[in-house]
Structure 1
Amino acid sequence: MLLTLLLSTAALLVSATGKLATVKLDQATVIGTSDGVVTQFLGIPFAEPPVGKLRLQLPQPISSYKGVINATTFGNQCIQQTIITPTFPSNVPEEASTFVSAMAIPPDVPQSEDCLNINVIVPAGTKPGDKLPVAAWIFGGGFQIGSNAVRPGQNVVNRSVEIGHPVIFVSMNYRLSAFGFLGGRETSNAGLGNLGLQDQREALRWVQKHIGAFGGDPTKVTIWGESAGAQSVAVHMLAFDGKSDGLFRAGWMESGAASPIGNVSKIQPTFDFIASETGCASALDILECLREVPAEAIQAAMDKTPTFLSFTALNTPWMPHADGLFLTDNPQRLAQEGKIANIPFVIGACEDEGTLFSLANLNITFVTDEEFAAYVANVYFPDAPKENVTRLLQLYPSNPAVGSPFETGDQFAFTPEYKRLAAFQGDFIFHAPRRFLLDLQAGKQTVRSFLSERNKVTGMGATHTTELANVFFGGDMTDFLVRFVQTLDPNGGTEIHWPAYNPKSPQLIAFVEGDTPLTVIPDNFRKEANEFLVQLGLEQPL
């Protein structure tokens, strides 16, 4: 009777053209939906709710499923940090301000601490034993916002079927900001750093255990992400000193890499602030106190901390940090030491990555080299020798014609240093780490790179996130991705050949606008500047 009632309730949520679908997990029946093209199972819990005594603890796996799981709608998204968008001056195009404002709006899905759920989307008719490869999507959002309800994985699955390379799409939620990335000595000593990354890892273990019931092959999982999700992919390759634990066989990274990040001790002030704001600073066991305060108190405290659209831009306290367990050191140091999973990967970025984050500082009018140097030193390199900062200014001059958005001449110089700051931030966080990883690993494993120059936004160029439409809405990047997930080689279609990366003669594929949408170009733009940024990051990680 209960099963009949739940089936009836789920049926009310299905569109008139859809139908129910079921799959067995342990002793449970999971109810999803199918439109005849793809079948979706949404919001399946992959770990125990991290609430109460389980708040700020490692994710706890679900030992066994029982009963009926209604997987016809998205599950809760994790509690989001409030992103305050800046007020732009009148000389910023409306297209740019609208683009930035849209990023701060969360999807219309309930927020809750009880959010550790996963979506599984398969080609319609897929059954156990089909052994389809799996694309495991990790969303971006600066480790502060985002959810698995945002990107339309059904489009990727549908396109994979159309081109004869059917894949399964999975996407997991993970805890964010203070709930998932609270640093400091207390969390490190307790072995509780980088909980959001631990959530992702637990979701990947869930895939190993259960994806066969959906028709997937647990030996053919590609981890794939954008922005913070791409950085997460790189970190999983370096986690536990490079042990993949058989959880994935390949990686695909869009606008994110192994960033120069330091020890969790660097973000002790943020831990102390959260403890103070929630009334836990004087507690004998601060973590235990934080488990007992209302979630709203923690959320209110973290909303007072910097975001990726704040003054400190991409240097926020919510980035992953070396915690001695999940990450034993600065990821770039680990990569240099060869402590990285030996898997093929694709890594790329957009042409104008830094413009999005530099728009947030238009209310700060840098005019002189000294003012620009003071900002960069204060936010990114507080202990750098003066000569290093001077060299940085030479490599990223104030001339707007060489700034980002690139190849726009003197246009879009909203402030005297906007384009200069955008070029520096885009290279320091995205392009320099991308090249660093490619140069280290090419030859040891098959790696490839791309540059996206499409979907430009007026005043921002091909800024951060602009490649997503190409990969999630059936573009040529979708085709490359699904072939890579299935065969570990993005080639095989009618497109031009995408060469493997060779540091002696580096090339990448460029997604460009115009009559020739794809081209292979040398990966040597701003090479000297990028190499210097890698040096600075290794000397003084964030």
Structure 2
Amino acid sequence: MRFTGQSFSAAATLLSLATTLVSAQNSSSQLPIVDLGYQLQQASGFNESAAYYNFSNIRYAAPPVADLRFRAPVSPTTDRSSVQDGSDLRICHQANPAWALIAAEWLPQYLLAGILPNVSTTVTAGTASLANVTTAAAETEDCLFLDVIVPKKIFESAGSAAGGGYTSGSKISYGNPAGLIARSQTGSSDGVVFVALNYRLGAFGWLSGPTFQQDGTANLGLHDQRFALEWVQKNIHLFGGDKDRVTVVGESAGAGSIMHQITAFGGSAPSLFHQAVPQSPAWLQVSSPYAQEQVFQSYLQFLNVTSLADARDLSEEQLIAGNVALIGVSPYSSFNVGPVVDGDIVPQDPKYLLNHGQFDKSIRVFTGHTSNEGILFTPPLTNDSQFGTFIQSALPDAQPAVISYITDTLYPPVYNGSYGYTDLLQRVALALAESSVICNANALDRAYTDLGNDTYAYVFAVDFGVHGQDVPFTFKNPGEPDTTGGLVSLGAANETIAFVLQDYITSFATGGVPVTDVNAWAARS
């Protein structure tokens, strides 16, 4: 998720569940210090060209280690003995399914030249070998940190200066937000305060199941996000942001997380943000307590232990290896872990809660998705009989009549284009897109439209419209290399389209309506 903001009395706050920053080097004696109460935080740098301060790696929760492993986040201890400068980059442990490597092998050829795949879809433990598990230097269990990027004009008005899918991603994933901040400052606007946060991933943040939940907390990633949102409510005014004008932005798992936060506790919890921009809200919940239990038991087997208590006693390196293995062997199109119905923060599937009025009705939404969401997760099937097998594996609890309805009525083997596809891969891709992203987005839009709220939406159909391909446009910075969009990089981001998308997001954050003054697009706003 990303989170956004705008001036001391009017500064919108843009909050992100995944981004990064670039800052110029400055003498530490020249950089401001913010008193957070529990610690003193100095800016890590000041970007001269973009005129913003970067407060990096601010701790928002205690280290989730030792006995706090697999438990809900708690407040950090007070330590005012020294000034924190955010010089040590922290991100949560990452892992990717082995099928992502298979997708990278065949998907570009299919998209660019129409070449049908000739690869195996089999994922085995050997594919996710633990022999050479490596991690980035910044990866650590102690990762509950966030970044605040604030334009100088907004920060100085605050008067606070005393002298940051469910298995991978971080606050530094996509690139720095300079482009977004710059577009937010067009006209007379002071711009937005930008916050980016980490939350626990993979087995560290998304285990669940009956045995696990006897002494562990399901949906830890959601709890981390909520804890960070509470931090924003308490502290963003110190940076010039307005806690009553918080907009959350997220892509893929970040967007799916936003939907879970909108429906958290069935809508009974206090609002922690006021607007939302979920881009491709994606999730396929682990279907049943039995399936969740199987995943947890597999994790224990990879760790060579028999209980969660034993897992808490292992070294961080052992937990990393188990996480890599568990996510690595995920069936094609899945990640083995993710949000689940737990009867607490997720009382039911968010679509059910939206359809039954059990959500935060005070929020305004601007929802987006790409035109070809499913192809990135599509297994390279070669014959129609495999389609039914794939659907059955994705929905193991579904009755045969339901599977037949999906394969014969909703997505029949008719390739003349009348159903929106002309080959088997497009058929699978459409089924995946609608089930894991588009139905989610539509449910959210419909819920707020039915309330009479002004609701906005977009479809990103640029180039191939692959899942994640709008990310390089969201974070486009003129003169800098493009960030990658999803698992497959398919070319540079068009600057004009990037400006339009950035305008839409930042104008929605600051004024509640997505608009742009870019020629030829202004009339469409």
Q: TM-score range by the shorter chain?
A: 0.7 to 0.9
Between the aligned partners of 1:387 and 1:220, the Cα distance in structure 2 is: 44
Match of 1:413 in 2: none
Contact 1:183 1:265 in 2 (8 A): no
- 2:230 corresponds, among 205, 212, 216, to 205
d(CA) in 2 for partners of 1:374, 1:251: 37
**Equivalence for 1:15:** 25
For residues 427 and 153 of structure 1, the distance between their equivalents in structure 2, rounded to whole angstroms, comes to: 30
> Which whole-Å CA distance do the structure 2 matches of 1:213 and 1:276 have between them?
47
**1:106-132 deviations in Å (ceiling 9; x for gaps):** 99651110111000001123337649x
Contact 1:74 1:109 (C-alpha < 8 Å) held by counterparts: no
State the partner residue of 2:256: 231
Q: 1:478-510 CA deviation, whole Å, 9 max, x = no partner?
A: 11111111122223x4369xxxxxxxxxxxxxx
Query: Which residue is equivalent to 1:271?
Result: 296
Distance in 1 between the 2:146 and 2:193 partners? 13
Among candidates 320, 334, 337, match of residue 318 of structure 1: 337
What one-letter code is carried by the residue in structure 2 that aligns with 1:386?
A
Aligned position for 1:539: none
Separation (CA, whole Å) in 2 of partners of 1:182 and 1:248: 26
**Structure 1 residue 306 displacement after superposition:** 4.5
**Aligned partners of 1:247, 1:254: CA distance in 2, in Å?**
19
| Inter-CA distance 224–91: structure 2 relative to 1 (3 Å threshold) | closer
Work out the CA distance in 1 between the residues paired with 2:499 and 2:289.
39
SS in 1 for 2:325: coil
Give 1:32's match in structure 2, choosing from 44, 52, 65: 44
Residue 429 of structure 2 corresponds to: 422
Aligned residue among 363, 367, 387 for 2:383 = 367
Whole-Å separation in 1 of the counterparts to 2:474 and 2:345: 30
Partner of 2:93: 79
CA–CA distance in 1 between the matches of 2:248 and 2:152?
Answer: 22
* Contact kept in structure 1, 2:90 and 2:143, CA below 8 Å: yes
> Are 1:92 and 2:74 matched, yes or no?
no
Q: Give, as a single letter, the amino acid of the residue that structure 1 aligns with 2:456.
A: R
Q: Give me the whole-angstrom Cα distance separating, in 2, the residues matched to 1:200 and 1:72.
A: 20
Q: 1:258 to 1:81 in 2, by over 3 A?
A: closer
Equivalent in the alignment of 2:317: 296
Residues 332-366 of structure 1 deviation map (CA, whole Å, 9 limit, x = unaligned): 222222110111111110000011111xx22xx43
TM-score, scaled to structure 2: 0.77
* Structure 1 equivalent of residue 244 of structure 2: 219
Does residue 123 (structure 1) correspond to residue 151 (structure 2)? The answer is yes
Q: In 2 relative to 1, CA 74–255 (structure 1 residues): closer, same or farther, beyond 3 Å?
A: farther
Change (3 A) 1:258 1:310: closer
Cα separation, 2, equivalents of 1:107 and 1:161: 38
Whether the 8 Å contact between 1:128 and 1:212 is mirrored in structure 2 is no
The amino acid across from 2:69 in the alignment is R
Unmatched segments (≥5 aa) in structure 2: 1-22, 115-127, 129-133, 477-497
Aligned pairs for 1:131-280 within 5 A = 142-151=165-174, 152-165=176-189, 166-190=191-215, 192-256=217-281, 262=287, 264-280=289-305
Secondary structure at the aligned position of 1:219 is classed as coil
1:351 matched to 2:371? The reply is yes
Contact 1:51/1:114 (<8 A) preserved? yes
2:501 maps to 477
> 1:326 deviation in Å?
1.3
1:433 aligns with 2:440: yes
Give, in angstroms, the shift of residue 417 of structure 1. 2.1
Residues in 1 aligned to 2:305 and 2:260: alpha-carbon distance in whole angstroms: 31
Give yes or no for contact 2:233–2:243 (8 Å, CA) kept in 1: yes
Quote how far apart the aligned CAs of 1:287 are.
2.2
How far off is 1:320 after superposition?
0.4
Residue 328 of structure 1: CA displacement?
Answer: 1.3
| Structure 2 equivalent of residue 490 of structure 1 | 514
Using the alignment, how far apart are the partners of 1:79 and 1:96 within structure 2?
36
Distance in 1 between the 2:265 and 2:425 partners?
A: 39
Task: Tell me whether 241-250 or 66-75 shows the greater mean CA deviation.
Answer: 66-75
Partner Cα distance (2:412, 2:63) in 1:
50
- Kept in 2, the 8 Å contact 1:255–1:350? The answer is yes
Give the 3 Å change call, closer, same or farther, for CA 246–372 of structure 1 in structure 2: closer
Superposed CA deviations along residues 378-432 of structure 1, whole A, max 9, x for unmatched, are 223542333652454333244556399x7xx86xxxxx62121111111111112
Match of 2:352 among 310, 333, 336: 333
Q: What residue identity is the alignment partner of 2:141?
A: E
Distance in 2 separating the partners of 1:94 and 1:446 = 36
Cα distance in structure 2, aligned partners of 1:280 and 1:484? 49
Distance 2:448 2:289 in 1: 27
CA pair 91-242 structure 1, distance change in 2 beyond 3 A = closer
CA distance in 2, matches of 1:430, 1:54: 33
Q: 1-side partners of 2:179 and 2:44: how far apart?
A: 17
Partner SS state of residue 213, structure 1: helix
Equivalenced residues, count: 451
C-alpha spacing 1:345/1:129, structure 2 compared with 1 (3 Å): same
Q: Alignment partner of 1:66: what SS?
A: coil
- Unpaired segments of 5 or more residues in structure 1? 1-12, 98-103, 132-136, 411-415, 497-514, 521-542
Worse-superposed segment, 328-337 or 38-47 = 328-337
1:435-491 Cα shifts (integer Å, max 9, x gaps): 12222321313321110011x2xxxx2100111122222521111111111122223
Question: What TM-score results when the alignment is normalised by the length of structure 1?
Answer: 0.75
Pick which of 337-346 and 287-296 moved more: 287-296
**Structure 2 residue 391 is matched with structure 1 residue 376:** yes
Asked if 1:453 is matched to 2:461, the reply is yes
Decide whether the 8 Å contact of 1:40 with 1:72 is kept in 2. Answer: no
User: How many Å separate the matches in 1 of 2:299 and 2:283?
Assistant: 27
**Which of 48, 59, 70 is the equivalent residue of 1:45?**
59
Pair 54,234 (structure 1): closer, same or farther in 2 beyond 3 Å: same
- Equivalent position amino acid for 2:172 in 1: A
Cα distance change of structure 1 residues 476 and 176 upon mapping to structure 2, 3 Å threshold: same
Query: What SS does the corresponding residue of 2:256 show, helix, strand or coil?
Result: helix
1:463 aligns with 2:483: no
Instruction: Tell me, yes or no, if the aligned pair for 2:207 and 2:218 is still in contact at 8 Å.
Output: yes
Q: Which amino acid aligns with 2:319?
A: I
- State the one-letter code of the partner of 2:513: D
Which of 276, 300, 305 lines up with 2:326 in the alignment?
305
Once structures 1 and 2 are overlaid, which stretch shifts more, 78-87 or 190-199? 78-87
Which residue in 2 is equivalent to 1:533?
none
Shift of 1:300: 1.9
Determine the structure 2 residue equivalent to 1:526.
Answer: none
What SS class does the counterpart of residue 126 from structure 1 fall into?
A: helix
Once the two structures are superposed, residues 125-183 of structure 1 have per-residue CA deviations (whole angstroms, 9 ceiling, x without a partner) of 3337649xxxxx9xxxx200011012312321222123443111101100011100011
Q: Counterpart of 1:122 in 2: which secondary structure? A: strand
SS at match of 1:475: helix
Q: State the identity as a percent.
A: 24
Give, as a single letter, the amino acid of the residue that structure 2 aligns with 1:160.
S
RCO higher in structure (CA 8 A, sep ≥6): 2
Aligned to 1:10: none
Greater CA deviation, 377-386 or 54-63?
377-386
**Cα distance in structure 1, aligned partners of 2:112 and 2:434:** 24
